[in-house]
């Protein structure tokens, strides 16, 4: 099957149209021009922050002089686990004409003063705050910018900037309140409701239990949109919702936050390990939800194959993921990620492209894939995608 056929099957279906309509319901009149302007301003702020950080440590200060990679890494005492990330910064800055590269050296950066940097972030903020999301999302990025030298050296843990004093305010701004989070969480909740409704139509409620597994459920941003709708949709159907994450910190909070849903269970699950050996049953899950987690997989192919194995025949995997390169992630959350062992190694990217994802799904035995939003959608420049993947 050609790749286009493979993923357009469900896009034109009623299921695809309902998911798309639900996702759009919370956009509040945002236009493609608003998004494109913001993306441009954010990139300007992020690339300026990278250059400014280098220059405050005395490298890339003289436009004509060449600076070796070794020199750049050494002035920050860059931790071994972050060297690859800083190489990615340099490659991206070169691709986007902020730097030039000759031999093994970088040069040609224009001076970026603190005043210029502040102006760039103010412009991005003006387009973002209150319209595309909470001001806290911008505060979070700026708090990372201020600590970039410490993040590079490993002296600052990136997770502590996302969850300062264990608080979830920044994470909520990113995973619940941003325009993309609202779009993706609505698409996921609608897909779950539609799948459950279809299951009820088959008369399955008398004999079967519906199994939903969420992996990397974290702060429960997607869960919080999915489970109230699910409660309304299940009717007489018996249901189990397994909320999982690698970290007990999130499971403790989720137990409290979702205590009104007696059909929810909570369990540690690591996506880099064999799912069956961690207690999940083969061919049992009707729906697997993976919201913004699969980019943490060491080997995406292996993890998606493992998830397919625990999915029942005809079951659905609902995945939300950043696709392409996100400069703002490279100065923040990428400091929490480890080096992948999948195709990202070849493309030298932090996140997979849509085509790479479709390839992963096809290899893992998917029958069809719905991808949202489509190319003409106002949110497309933000690069975040919802995939609904059905097992053969």
Residue 310 binds to ligand SAM (criterion: CB under 6 A):
no
Compute the least distance from the CB of residue 241 to ligand SAM, in Å: 14
Q: In which residue are the tokens 């097992």 written?
A: 391
**Cβ atoms 214, 275 nearer than 8 A:** no
Could you say whether residue 175 binds ligand SAM (CB under 6 A)? Answer: yes
d(CA 126, CA 23): 25
Question: Between vectors from CA 306 to CA 249 and to CA 294, what angle results, nearest 5°?
Answer: 50
50 binds ligand SAM (CB under 6 A): no
DSSP conformation class of 318: E
Cβ-proximal residues to 204 (8 Å cutoff; 6+ apart), any chain: 210, 237
Binding piece for ligand SAM, criterion CB under 6 A, among 62-70, 97-105, 210-218, 338-346: 210-218
Does 184 interact with ligand SAM (rule: CB under 6 A)? no
Local structure of 243: helix, strand or coil: strand
DSSP string, 263-294: TEEEEE--TTS-TGGGTPPTT-EEEEEEES-G
CA of 303: how far to CAs of 87, 151, 222, 270, 356, in Å? 26, 28, 20, 10, 14
Residue 288 as a binder of ligand SAM (CB under 6 A): the answer is: no
Q: By CB under 6 A, name the one of 11, 117, 291, 372 that touches ligand SAM.
A: 291
Which residue among 16, 108, 133, 216 contacts ligand SAM (CB under 6 A)?
Answer: 216
User: Which residues have a Cβ under 8 Å from the Cβ of 315 and sit 6 or more positions away?
Assistant: 285, 286, 287, 288, 390, 391
Q: Closer to ligand SAM at the Cβ: 302 or 377?
A: 302
- The residues in 231-260 that bind ligand SAM, with binding defined as CB under 6 A, are 245-247, 250
- Show the CA angle centred on residue 361, arms to residues 87 and 278, nearest 5°: 85
Confirm or reject binding of residue 305 to ligand SAM (CB under 6 A).
no
Give me the least distance between CB of 381 and ligand SAM, in Å please: 21
- The piece of 45-53, 124-132, 203-211, 263-271 that touches ligand SAM (CB under 6 A) is 263-271
* Complex with ligand SAM: residue 41 or 219, whichever CB lies closer: 219
Can you tell me the distance from the alpha carbon of 328 to that of 325, in angstroms, rounded to the nearest whole number? 9
Q: Is 218 in the site for ligand SAM (CB under 6 A)?
A: yes
CA-wise closest residue to 185 among 280, 313, 290: 290
Residue 178 interacting with ligand SAM (CB under 6 A): no
Stretch that binds ligand SAM, among 48-56, 101-109, 124-132, 212-220 (CB under 6 A): 212-220
128 belongs to the binding site for ligand SAM (CB under 6 A): no
Q: Please report whether residue 26 would count as binding ligand SAM according to CB under 6 A.
A: no
Q: Which two tokens stand for residue 284?
A: 């049992």
Q: Is 98 in the site for ligand SAM (CB under 6 A)?
A: no
Asked if residue 222 binds ligand SAM (CB under 6 A), the reply is: yes
User: Is 321 one of the binding residues for ligand SAM (CB under 6 A)?
Assistant: no
What is the contact surface with ligand SAM in residues (CB under 6 A)?
A: 171, 175, 215-222, 245-247, 250, 269-272, 291-293, 296
């Amino acid at each position: 099957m050609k790749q286009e056929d493979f993923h357009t099957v469900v896009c034109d279906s009623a299921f695809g149209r309902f998911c798309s309509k639900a996702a759009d319901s919370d956009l509040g009149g945002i236009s493609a021009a608003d998004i494109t302007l913001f993306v441009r301003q954010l990139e300007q702020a992020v690339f300026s922050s990278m250059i400014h950080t280098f220059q405050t440590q005395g490298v890339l200060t003289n436009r004509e002089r060449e600076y070796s990679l070794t020199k750049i890494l050494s002035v920050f005492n860059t931790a071994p686990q972050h060297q690859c990330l800083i190489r990615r910064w340099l490659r991206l800055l070169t691709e986007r004409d902020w730097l030039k590269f000759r031999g093994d050296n970088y040069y040609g950066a224009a001076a970026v003063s603190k005043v210029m940097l502040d102006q760039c972030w103010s412009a991005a903020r003006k387009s973002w705050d209150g319209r595309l999301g909470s001001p806290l999302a911008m505060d979070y990025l700026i708090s990372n910018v201020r600590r970039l030298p410490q993040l590079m050296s490993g002296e600052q843990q990136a997770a502590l900037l996302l969850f300062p004093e264990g608080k979830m305010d920044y994470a909520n701004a990113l995973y619940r309140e941003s325009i993309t989070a609202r779009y993706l969480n609505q698409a996921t909740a609608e897909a779950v409701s539609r799948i459950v409704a279809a299951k009820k139509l088959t008369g399955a409620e008398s004999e079967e239990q519906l199994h939903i597994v969420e992996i990397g459920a974290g702060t429960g941003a997607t869960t919080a949109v999915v489970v109230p709708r699910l409660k309304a949709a299940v009717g007489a159907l018996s249901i189990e919702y397994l909320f999982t994450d690698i970290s007990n910190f999130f499971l403790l909070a989720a137990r409290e936050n979702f205590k009104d849903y007696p059909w929810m269970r909570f369990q540690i699950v690591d996506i880099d390990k064999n799912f069956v050996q961690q207690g999940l049953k083969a061919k049992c899950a009707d729906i697997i939800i993976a919201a913004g987690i699969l980019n943490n997989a060491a080997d995406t192919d292996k993890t998606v194959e493992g998830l397919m194995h625990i999915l029942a025949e005809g079951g659905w995997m609902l995945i939300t993921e950043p696709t392409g390169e996100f400069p703002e992630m490279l100065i923040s959350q990428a400091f929490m990620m480890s080096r992948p062992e999948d195709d990202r190694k070849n493309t030298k990217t932090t996140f997979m492209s849509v085509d790479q994802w479709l390839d992963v799904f096809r290899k893992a035995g998917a029958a069809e894939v719905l991808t949202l939003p489509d190319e003409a959608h106002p949110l497309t420049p933000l690069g975040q995608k919802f995939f609904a993947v059905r097992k053969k």
